[in-house]
Amino acid sequence: MPNLTVQNLFNRQVEVAPGQTLLQALQADGIDWMHACGAKGRCTTCRIVVQEGLEHFGPLTDSEERYRSKGRLQDNERLTCQCTLVSGDAQGRVPRQTMLPHIKYSN
Per-chain mean pLDDT for the chain = 97
**Distance, CA of 6 to CA of 66 (rounded, Å):** 25
Give, in words, the CATH class of 3-98.
alpha beta
* pLDDT for the residue 7: 98
* pLDDT for the residue 82: 98
Sign of CA pseudo-dihedral 90, 61, 34, 45: positive
| Contacts of 15 by beta carbon, 8 Å cutoff, 6+ apart | 1, 2, 3, 25, 29
* pLDDT for the residue 16: 98
With a cut of 70, list the residues of the chain below it in pLDDT.
none
Q: Where are the domains of the chain?
A: 3-98
**Distance, CA of 60 to CA of 1 (rounded, Å):** 20
